[in-house]
Amino acid sequence: MNWILLVIAGLLETCWAVGLKYSQGFTKLVHGILTIIGMIASFYFLSLALKNLPLGTAYAVWTGIGTVGTVILGIMLFKEPVELIRLVFVALIVIGIIGLKIVSDV
Q: Quick check: helix, strand or coil at residue 99?
A: helix
pLDDT value, residue 104:
84
Give the tens place of pLDDT for each residue, 8-44.
999 999 999 999 999 999 999 999 999 999 999 999 9
Alpha helices in the chain (DSSP H): 2-23, 29-49, 55-78, 84-103
The number of residues in the chain equals 106
CA-based torsion, 36, 40, 41, 43: positive or negative = positive
pTM strictly above 0.85: yes
Q: How many CB atoms lie within 10 A of CB 97?
A: 22
Give the tens place of pLDDT for each residue, 37-81.
999 999 999 999 999 999 999 999 999 999 999 999 999 999 999
